[in-house]
Amino acid sequence: MKKGAQLELTIEKFADRGKSLAKHEGYVIFVPGAVPGDRVRATLVRKRKSYGEARIVELLEASPLRTEPRCSYFGACGGCKWQHVQYQAQLDAKTQSVSEAMQHEGGFASVPVRDTIAAADIYEYRNKMEFSFSAERWLTSEEIASEERFNLTFALGLHAPGFFNKVIDLDECHLQSGLSARIVNATREFAVEHDWKPWHIRKHAGFLRHLVIRQAGNTSDLLVNVVTRSHVSNRMGELAAFYQERFPEITTLVNGVNSGVAQTAFGESIHTIYGPGYLTDRIGDLTFQIAPNAFFQTNSKQAEKLYEVAREAGDLKPDDLLYDMYCGAGTISLFVAPSVRHVVGVELIEESVVNARENARINQIENVTFESGDMLKLLTPDFIGKHGNPDVMIVDPPRAGIHPKVVAQIAALRPRRLVYVSCNPRTQARDMALLGDAYQIDWAQPVDLFPHTHHVENVVRLTARD
């Protein structure tokens, strides 16, 4: 079988990172965009020793798991890849992906994985979207086929899947509200009219870099962060006047500055143009102030379910000392604080720790202490001496997981219960394998915070062995 071969394939399942998997005479072939149960005619476009990749030429028989995607950019845009998959099938695939991560990355034969908890809203659920400006607009195949003439020197939207330099100009996005789409479209019109240059991703030139819209899930707050190469105060004044007239719903406008080459909306400085400079959202009974760059779960409604699972997993006692590691703006710490004696939260980003302390104050929660610093350097005997040995620990690291040295420190501290919350079950399983015999895994509970993507949050409960 050579590259370019035409094959008839039946898709067996979703595999790692949401890819669709088929087999041809035992050889594994990934088929982007296909759904388990599809029968397709496809061309082999990549051939490696142990696997290949094929592109669909014709859908011979559609899987019963398919459904109609809502978005007209579906397929071209990298925002969500599973809009064409029925929601229950998405949930089943997530449960399966957690089981497989536990087996393949952790070597655990039999972790009881519960069914993934579904999201109440499967569209318009994101409280944060980061759109990119680009001086090179990437056209979708529908746009090319339409033969319409487009301005190719300005785009504001999302990246094509897997391409850092290809931005699709979007006039709708169903991950956020219609209001968010109107702000995107009006910002584009304003920028083109005022001849503000979008960022040229390859030449590293231009003014406008990102448009971040943070729309609270449980309050009416809306923060807009326009990320530019430099802060030009009269320009921000003009934009502020425009927004205030057109969008009274925007409660605060900030200008993040990123003069570096990295394509990130995380600037080196933030200027508040109007409003308080932060977003206020609610999870459960708690109110949170969130700085423009502070981490906050992107699905506010589902975050509450996630934190409920984490609290249940902790099996908390009123006399417990709890450590909340990688605590962000203190969300989990404050959520569990009423159930324990004291919580110590640790977080790298100073700005988030300032938020966390302020959040404790506005929610009148006094039994929490927040420390800023790198986990790798912080968990010293002095730190333990100062705060005490934890009975329970909740860890919620970034996708890369926990540094092996920190895993070893956690194992040495031996809290009675360890709750591992993760947005990457693969690194989660890898880290848990390093705990060796110190802990037993009781169960895993995936929670869906990201419908139409293969991403999932997973909570694992571990108990120290005697």
Ligand X SMILES: C[S@@+](CC[C@H](N)C(=O)[O-])C[C@H]1O[C@@H](n2cnc3c(N)ncnc32)[C@H](O)[C@@H]1O
Nearest approach in angstroms of CB 136 to ligand X is 32
Nearest approach in angstroms of CB 449 to ligand X is 10
Instruction: Compare residues 122 and 349 and give the one whose CB is closer to ligand X.
Output: 349
Which residues form the interface with ligand X (CB under 6 A)?
A: 295-297, 326-328, 331-332, 346-349, 352, 374-376, 396-398
Nearest approach in angstroms of CB 463 to ligand X is 21
Distance CA 199, CA 206 (A): 4
Instruction: Compare residues 199 and 295 and give the one whose CB is closer to ligand X.
Output: 295
Instruction: Compare residues 76 and 337 and give the one whose CB is closer to ligand X.
Output: 337
Instruction: Compare residues 53 and 324 and give the one whose CB is closer to ligand X.
Output: 324
Which residue from 223, 342, 238 is spatially nearest to 289, judged by alpha carbons?
223
The residue sitting closest to ligand X, measured at its beta carbon, is 328
Torsion angle of C-alpha atoms 433, 434, 438, 439, degrees rounded to 10? -40
Q: C-alpha angle with apex 264: 259 to 269, nearest 5 degrees? A: 50
Q: In the structure encoding, which two tokens stand for residue 428, read together?
A: 């989660």
CA distances 100 to 45, 106, 281, 354, Å, are: 27, 9, 35, 38
26: left (phi over 0), alpha (psi -120 to 50) or beta: left
Q: Which of 77, 80, 327, 423 is catalytic?
A: 423
Instruction: Compare residues 64 and 284 and give the one whose CB is closer to ligand X.
Output: 284
Nearest approach in angstroms of CB 289 to ligand X is 13
Distance CA 457, CA 425 (A): 8
Nearest approach in angstroms of CB 80 to ligand X is 20
Q: Which residues contact 305 (CB under 8 A, 6 or more apart)?
A: 117, 447
- In 266-398, which ranges are continuous DSSP H helix? 300-314, 331-336, 350-362, 375-378, 381-387
Q: Which residues contact 372 (CB under 8 A, 6 or more apart)?
A: 346, 347, 348, 349, 350, 352, 353
Tell me, yes or no, if 423 is annotated catalytic: yes
CA distances 273 to 133, 240, 254, 383, 418, Å, are: 20, 7, 5, 39, 43
Length of the chain: 466
Which residue from 280, 292, 301 is spatially nearest to 358, judged by alpha carbons?
280
- In 247-299, which ranges are continuous DSSP H helix? none
Nearest approach in angstroms of CB 399 to ligand X is 8
CB atoms within 10 A of CB 25: 6
Instruction: Compare residues 7 and 375 and give the one whose CB is closer to ligand X.
Output: 375
CA distances 178 to 187, 213, 215, 253, Å, are: 14, 12, 11, 19
The radius of gyration of the chain from alpha carbons, rounded to an integer in Å, stands at 24
Instruction: Compare residues 170 and 332 and give the one whose CB is closer to ligand X.
Output: 332
Nearest approach in angstroms of CB 333 to ligand X is 8
Active-site residues, by number, are 423
